[in-house]
Structures are given as C-alpha cells and as structure tokens.
C-alpha cells in the first residue's frame, strides 16, 4: 500500500533572539529528522510530552510552516515543489483542527461565516448553495442551525470546536490534522467531540493525524501510534502493539503515567524522572538517555535509528533486550 502522507527526513529549526550583539543566533530544533508514512483512511496518533514538537510537526504537515529540511508529500506529490496556485488547490485536501476552539475562530465572524469562508474562497457555488452547504455541515457536526448566527464568544467550547470541525471538513478534505482537538474541553464534552471526529473519519474515509499528549485519548482513536521525544519519533507501531508491548523505555514511561481506575493499577504508576531536557541543548546520542534506566555508553555516543523489530519501529539500541521475555514483564521506572 502506498502512503497518502509521507514525511522524509523532515526537520524544523526555530531561530531564537540573539542574547548579545556579537553572539551567534541560536536555533531550536523542534523537529529532528522525522520520516513516516500515513496511509489512506487510517488514524495516526502522535503522542509525547509538552514541548516535544507535536504541534510543530502538525504545522509542517498542513503547510502552515515550511520545513527547514526534508520533504512532505501528499499522494506522491512533494508539496514544496508546487507553485502558489497548485498549493492552493492541494490545500483543499488537508485541513487542521486546533486545540483552542475560541482562539482558532475569528471573534468578529458569526459561525455561519466561519464555516462558509473556505467555500467562498474556493468559489464552490452560488451564495444560496453555500448557505445550504453550511447548514448541512452544521447538522453533520451536531451544531444546531439556530446557532449559526452566533459569534464564538456566545457559544460553549464544545460548540466552537464543532464549528472548527465543520470548517475543516467543508471542502471534503482527504486529510485532517487534529492538534489536541479535545484537550481544552471539559471532560464531559471531550468524549462527544472525540466520537464526532471518529464518526466523521469513518463516514468520509478521512486520513487523520491525531495529536495528543494523552495516551488514553490516543488509545481510543488511533490505528497506529507515533511516539515523539525531543523532536524525534522514538516508536512507531500499531496501537495494539504500543499498548501491549511497548518497546521504547519512553513509551513505557508514558504508559505507566496514564491514570488508571483501579487502586492496584494506580500503585504501579510511575512518576516522571525530572524535566525533559531543553530542546536548545538536547543530550547527545539518544535524547532520552538522561532519563533512561537502561542507558549505556553507546546511548551517549550513537543516535539510535528508528528500525523495525518484529513489526514495530523503535529508536533504541537495546530494544530487543528490553523486549526479551525476562524484561517484558518489567515496567520501566525511570
Ligand atoms: N514559533 C516558534 N519559535 C520558537 N520556538 C518554538 C516555536 N514554536 C515552537 N517552538 C518550540 O519548539 C518546541 C516544540 O514545540 P511544540 O509546540 O511543537 O511542542 P508540542 O509537543 O506541541 O507541545 P504541547 O504539548 O505543549 O503543545 C518547544 O520547545 C517550543 O518552545
Ligand atoms: S537508546 Fe539507550 S538511552 Fe535511549 S532509550 Fe534505548 S536504552 Fe535508553
Ligand atoms: Mg502542541
């Protein structure tokens, strides 16, 4: 099966302000040599701690920012090779849903105008046809059509996120990148919006990149999971494999930190071992080595490549040993 979305050695550096007139300008490497494929109709979950580069990667995928290195291709076409006009046409096929439903909607526009904006930009029909399409979209995302003449500040977070989703699906895209789309919502609303996204994905055959720091949300929605740490993908596998036999020590730590309802399971939860190192000065070799109980000299010297071990991809020098029957039962506490 060929990939619908394909990233090859993608990187993103952000230049930082100079600390002194004669000092060199520093760069922060937010995304570091990411290569991955996302297949048509699947949901890839992208998970990792705050600051690991999830949103930066999401913005590169939907071309809100240009990568510093590497290539992003959609349906076999490298997006950087497209001229302005061709890129505008390609943009119809990929849309983004943002974390903060209020901040991502124009406060001076009514819901009706927000949802219809892309339809007008792309001249998809007469004003009456666009009106009808906006009402159809509102119904599709479970937003009462009587709310279409309200401004975002007159609506709840959940209703605003429904507007954001209606806007994202208006042009029948093939790929949606949802960046923490439920994180800012009340817990009671999170499940409703999550289920809406899952339903739309199935109905429309969408390819979905679902970004979240929350492993339990990822478990609910994703077919495959990419785990990110300090700009790099450290594990990439089916959701079933990631949850039943996590191979990277960082993935194990993330899983051990998931709140569990039973007291016995709660007892096995681990605390984080300190802060994530600054992305301005990531550790040499394996970025995770300063928090890893299994680090060796090789981990300091050599960057572990993301490589296949029995169907799941892992960037750890010692993954096989950690997955051996004796080590498998051990939850790694770092
Ligand atoms: N425009 C920017 N300029 C400078 N640094 C940036 C910029 N955007 C992101 N960063 C830095 O890049 C790193 C990755 O940030 P990013 O927002 O992608 O992480 P994230 O995984 O989405 O975090 P969160 O879970 O908090 O949303 C962080 O260190 C962040 O401070
Ligand atoms: S490469 Fe070394 S430091 Fe990195 S996760 Fe594996 S064992 Fe730990
Ligand atoms: Mg983010």
Q: What pLDDT sits at residue 19? A: 73
Burial of 76 (C-beta count, 10 Å sphere; 0-12/13-18/19+):
exposed
CA-nearest residue, atom 3 of ligand 2: 289
Split into its structural domains, the chain has a count of: 1
Provide the β-strand partners of residue 210: 45, 178
CA-nearest residue, atom 25 of ligand 1: 50
14 within ligand 1 shell (Cβ under 6 A) = yes
Provide the β-strand partners of residue 237: 225
Give the contacts of 235 (CB within 8 A, at least 6 positions apart). 225, 226, 227, 242, 246, 247, 248, 250, 251, 312, 313, 314, 315
142 within ligand 1 shell (Cβ under 6 A) = no
Euclidean distance between CA atoms 317 and 334, whole angstroms:
17
246 within ligand 2 shell (Cβ under 6 A) = no
- For residue 294, give the ligand 2 atom closest to its CA: 7
Q: Considering the chain, what percentage of its residues have pLDDT values greater than 70? A: 92
CA-nearest residue, atom 24 of ligand 1: 50
289 within ligand 1 shell (Cβ under 6 A) = no
pLDDT of 207 above 90: yes
Q: What pLDDT sits at residue 324? A: 80
279 within ligand 1 shell (Cβ under 6 A) = yes
pLDDT of 239 above 90: yes
Euclidean distance between CA atoms 70 and 258, whole angstroms:
33
Distance 44 CA to ligand 2 centre (A): 24
pLDDT (mean) for 63-90: 94
Residue 239 domain flag: no
pLDDT of 171 above 90: yes
Distance 231 CA to ligand 1 centre (A): 10
Euclidean distance between CA atoms 165 and 101, whole angstroms:
10
Structure tokens at 310: 């029995």
213 within ligand 1 shell (Cβ under 6 A) = yes
Residue 293 domain flag: yes
CA-nearest residue, atom 5 of ligand 1: 14
Euclidean distance between CA atoms 14 and 253, whole angstroms:
28
Q: What share of the chain is helix, strand, coil (3-state, %, to 5)?
A: 40, 20, 40
Domain extent for 319: 248-334
Q: What pLDDT sits at residue 275? A: 80
Distance 297 CA to ligand 2 centre (A): 10
pLDDT in tens, 279-309: 999 999 999 999 999 999 999 999 999 999 9
* pTM assigned to the model: 0.92
Q: Considering the chain, what percentage of its residues have pLDDT values greater than 90? A: 82
Euclidean distance between CA atoms 151 and 113, whole angstroms:
10
Q: What pLDDT sits at residue 276? A: 87
Residue 105 domain flag: no
29 within ligand 1 shell (Cβ under 6 A) = no
Residue 12 domain flag: no
Residue 234 domain flag: no
CA distances from 273 to 9, 276, 277 (A): 29, 9, 11
Residue 325 domain flag: yes
Residue 235 domain flag: no
332 within ligand 2 shell (Cβ under 6 A) = no
41 within ligand 1 shell (Cβ under 6 A) = no
pLDDT in tens, 87-138: 999 999 999 999 998 899 999 999 999 999 999 999 999 999 999 999 999 9
226 within ligand 2 shell (Cβ under 6 A) = no
267 pLDDT tier (thresholds 50, 70, 90) = very low
Mutate to test the pocket of ligand 1, among 15, 27, 34, 53 (most ligand atoms within 8 A of CB): 53
Residue 39 domain flag: no
318 within ligand 2 shell (Cβ under 6 A) = yes
Q: What pLDDT sits at residue 259? A: 67
């Amino acid at each position: 099966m060929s990939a619908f979305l394909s990233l090859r050695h993608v990187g993103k550096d952000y230049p930082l302000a100079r600390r002194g007139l004669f000092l060199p300008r520093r760069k922060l490497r937010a995304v570091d040599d990411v290569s991955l494929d996302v297949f048509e109709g699947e949901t890839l979950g992208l998970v990792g701690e705050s600051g690991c580069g999830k949103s930066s990667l999401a913005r590169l995928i939907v071309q809100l920012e240009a990568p510093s290195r590497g290539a992003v291709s959609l349906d076999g076409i490298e997006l950087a090779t497209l001229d302005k006009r061709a890129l505008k046409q390609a943009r119809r096929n990929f849309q983004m849903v943002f974390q903060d439903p209020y901040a991502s909607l124009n406060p001076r526009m009514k819901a009706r105008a927000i949802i219809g904006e892309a339809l007008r930009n792309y001249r998809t029909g007469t004003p009456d046809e666009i009106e009808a399409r906006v009402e159809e979209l509102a119904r599709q995302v479970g937003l009462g059509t009587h709310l279409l003449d309200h401004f975002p500040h007159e609506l709840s977070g959940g209703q605003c996120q429904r507007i954001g989703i209606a806007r994202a699906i208006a042009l029948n895209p093939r790929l949606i990148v949802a960046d923490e789309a439920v994180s800012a919502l009340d817990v009671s609303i999170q499940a409703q919006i999550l289920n809406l996204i899952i339903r739309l994905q199935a109905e429309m055959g969408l390819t979905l990149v679902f970004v979240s720091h929350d492993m339990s949300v990822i478990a609910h929605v994703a077919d495959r999971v990419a785990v990110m740490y300090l700009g790099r993908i450290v594990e990439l596998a089916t959701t079933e494999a990631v949850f039943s036999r996590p191979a990277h020590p960082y993935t194990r730590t993330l899983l051990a930190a998931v709140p569990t309802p039973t007291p016995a399971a709660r007892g096995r939860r681990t605390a984080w071992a300190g802060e994530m190192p600054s992305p301005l000065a990531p550790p040499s070799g394996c970025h995770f080595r300063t928090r890893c109980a299994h680090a060796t000299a090789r981990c300091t010297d050599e960057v572990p490549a993301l490589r296949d071990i029995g169907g799941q991809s892992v960037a750890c020098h010692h993954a096989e040993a950690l997955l051996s029957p004796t080590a498998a039962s051990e939850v790694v506490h770092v």
